[in-house]
Structure 1
Amino acid sequence: MWIFRVDEPRLGVIRIREWRRRAHHTIGLLVMLLGGATIGLIALDQSSNAFPDKLFTALWNGVNLITTLGAFSEFSPPQKGFMLLAMVATLLIGGFAVSRLTGMLSGDDVMAYRENRIMERKLEQLANHVVVVGFHSLGERVADYLHEEGNTVLVLVGDQDQANRATDCGHLVVLGSPDAFDEVLKRARLDSAKAMFVTTPDSNNNLAITLLAHTLNPSLAIAVPGENPLRKGLLENAGATNVVIADDIIAKALVTRITTAAEAAQ
């Protein structure tokens, strides 16, 4: 699914920040363990080697300790005792990391946050696309026809179920609550879109969306259904370039069919 949620998944952001804080904490503990192991091994090294050699050997053993590779050099009895303590500390830190970090980044809220970041980049690159507002029966048919003709379709919705259905059909989606629909339109890249179809069942909502879209891009082609000549005039004044009155189309189709059938029967 490719959905950009205008209402940012806040809990996802909080979880990721907390995971980073815990990861930094764990890394800090490992660095402290590495430093302590290195210093302890140098202090317990009774060989006649030069200090740089002792430092390198101790650092080598410390890195092998925290990475669990196990390629240690020879230890003296005191060093072995010290390394036993260091190994216990490593196990404790490893258990801490597993208990505190595992599973934090696999929740739905985190996945939604990641999806938002991916969709944000996709929207930034979007151009010459067609925007469909609403994904009820009319919007779904319009989006499917446009998709079949090879257009990139961006669906704007305020409902999660509609968003899921739109993504299942292969469309990009921007989801936002009705209160935040101004932000939804801003995310739709209307400046680079070639057309917009407003298809929600609420005529007042269609009028407001048309006006907002026309304000954002006065040259954008906007198609909207209208209920009557008065509503058609209002939509055209709001910036609609094509207003279709469904009753007129149905009436003409019915009359044409009956007339054609009558003429054929004569």
Structure 2
Amino acid sequence: MSQHVYWHAPLWEVLLVGLISLTFLGWLIMRALRRPDLSAALSAISPALSDQPLFFFERVKGVTCLNDAAEQILNNLPVSQQQFLLDVLTETLLEAYEEARVTRHQDWPEAEHALVAVPIFGRPDGVTGVLALVIAEIPPPPAERPVDEHLAAEPEAWLTLSPVLRLHRTRPVVHVRRIGPNAVATWQEYRLSHTEETLLRYLLEHQAEVQTAETLFRAVWPEDEVDSYGLRPDQKNRLQRLVYQLRQHVEPDPRNPRYVCTAHGIGYVLYLEQEPTVQ
């Protein structure tokens, strides 16, 4: 014999339970349908990401701003150049997408800034999207002084490494031909630090030969022990910083190095346009 239990409740309790259930269900639906705030998510990872303008490109959706900094850049484009700058943005990202390589556009959206686009490989057969960011570029350091003509008049004292780069045979001094703000190319003189000179002369001895990071570190800092498994993070940072400083002094355009080049995953190599000769 079965027994049935009935719940006798006032109408207001039934309505209250129903209202609470509907409210909770509505909250779940809103959570499921709500578009995630990418800017807040990036800021939660690191506050620096919220200040770094980030764009994403897909073939179907086109260019998407990933944070407020990117939207602010687009909103503040000069009216007279707005369409041109938008076209440059789209073409740079599209080029990275179609050619599956990192692309870069100087002076976007203004001078001393650059747009860098990096393809994202999400499937075996190609690129799924492109991540782009705007970076501030550090201008080359001011020359210590213009080239002294009487120094340049000592041809036996200088090694000509390229048409725009000379190295003194015995002193830590280089002459670099750079284009100044007035668009005129002039020779500038820079004095190298001891570690910069050591690195440059070692690379010069092994021109066009890729040198591992461990080899270069030992050449510059022979007193520091290098572990068998490679450089420690602090040692890698020290070498990278030294290469950066050297490029600031020997590259005609340090933002686009063409002599002291990175061999990704290995180390660095010195490429010259000619064999070093006595001037």
TM-score range, shorter chain: under 0.3
- Highest RCO, 1 vs 2 (Cα 8 Å, sep ≥ 6): 1
TM-score, normalization by structure 1: 0.24
Higher helix share: 1
Higher strand share: 2
TM-score, normalization by structure 2: 0.23
